[in-house]
Copies of this chain bind each other. A is one copy, B any other.
Amino acid sequence: MLDSVIVGNVFREIRERKGLSQEVVSGLADIGRTHLSAIERGERRPTLDTLFKLAAALNMPASEIVREMEAALKRSEENGSGIENYFK
């Protein structure tokens, strides 16, 4: 699935919006730093457990994070994320 990239970007955007490093967030969430890195790049799909841990570390409700993911996924459907839009 290509969606994991979009999902990962949501994690990244929230983290950067708060000005936190991967090291700090992964430390608060009690997960490995390289793991968080992989999640943000869309190379790992977190479990619900990890979602809740990251939500706590980012100090916001997990449901809010998922809402942003739904919005991002919807955008990518509308705009199209196919190869034909890659050079616009």
Of B47, B62, B66, the contact of A45 (CB 8 Å cutoff): B47
B51 and A48 contact, CB distance less than 8 A: yes
* Interface size classification for chain A: 10 to 19
Chain copies in the assembly? Answer: 2
Which single member of B4, B52, B64, B66 contacts A62 (CB below 8 Å)? B66
> Which of B1, B48, B64, B66 is the one whose CB lies under 8 Å from A7?
B48
- Interface assignment of A61: CB less than 8 Å from any CB of chain B: yes
Proximity string of chain A (30-52) to chain B, C-beta cutoff 8 Å, 1 when within and 0 when not: 00000000000000011111011
**What sequence of 0s and 1s flags, for each residue 1-17 of chain A, a beta carbon within 8 Å of any chain B beta carbon?**
10110010000000000
The answer to whether A67 has its CB under 8 Å from any CB of chain B is yes
Residues of A within 8 A of B (CB): 1, 3-4, 7, 45-49, 51-52, 61-64, 66-67, 69-70
